[in-house]
Chain A
Amino acid sequence: GDSVTQMEGPVTLSEEAFLTINCTYTATGYPSLFWYVQYPGEGLQLLLKATKADDKGSNKGFEATYRKETTSFHLEKGSVQVSDSAVYFCALRVLNDYKLSFGAGTTVTVRA
């Protein structure tokens, strides 16, 4: 079945540090890949996405590249801020399937 594995947290960083959250996937079809972010007390918001191999999704300084050869979609940000403290979810969806498969989520805390 389709599944997503992302690195376990929690991750604690200092402001302006580099952030990487690893995400790998298994899919029976050709998936679209997503990163969602959940700020405290809120629902999930789409952060970025990529729909085909070698696509790079980017938003708010975050980037992730769809790597078909390594079945990965790692999230990166060069200089984090306290406001980036949140839970980050990697997800995939394959063609002709309504289901969005989520990873377990990674909690990121950024200290001033």
Chain B
Amino acid sequence: ETGVTQTPRHLVMGMTNKKSLKCEQHLGHNAMYWYKQSAKKPLELMFVYSLEERVENNSVPSRFSPECPNSSHLFLHLHTLQPEDSALYLCASSQEDRVGYGYTFGSGTRLTVV
């Protein structure tokens, strides 16, 4: 399998639930990213991991907790979310020293908080 794979594709969760989003890349990249895409809003960069270390956290609420156990896997742990957290969550990967290659994105997880 190649590319960036995100699971699940769709998730409905209650505000008191705990769930995790998973992202896996098979491209040998050394950086991974979480983005949030809400309707009528620009893409929001949430977290950046480079060489498995978090290098950026753009003021994301603590109810979102990322984890990068190795260069191929990235998780987003969710707990006590709010309805406004409903969005498409996109994972991406890149090779940090290859500027001309951009990012490769997964298909996203459509999250609905009820």
Contacts and interface: CB of A to CB of B under 8 A. Distances in A.
A4 to B, nearest CB: 10
A91 B108 contact: no
B48 A98 contact: yes
A100 interface: yes
Contacts of A102: 42-43
Contacts, number: 56
Given A93-B99, A98-B50, A104 B105 contact: no
Contacts of A46: 102-104
B45 interface: yes
Interface residues of B, number: 24
A14 B43 CA distance: 28
Nearest to A103: B42
A49 B100 contact: yes
Q: Determine chain B's interface SS by DSSP, over half rule.
A: strand
Given A98-B48, A98-B96, A105-B42, A93 B102 contact: yes
Interface string A99-112: 11011110000000
A100 B100 contact: no
B55 interface: yes
Given A32-B100, A98-B31, A102-B43, A44 B105 contact: yes
B45 A95 contact: no
B99 A89 contact: no
B102 A91 contact: yes
8 contacts: A44-B103, A46-B104, A93-B99, A93-B102, A96-B99, A99-B48, A99-B56, A100-B94
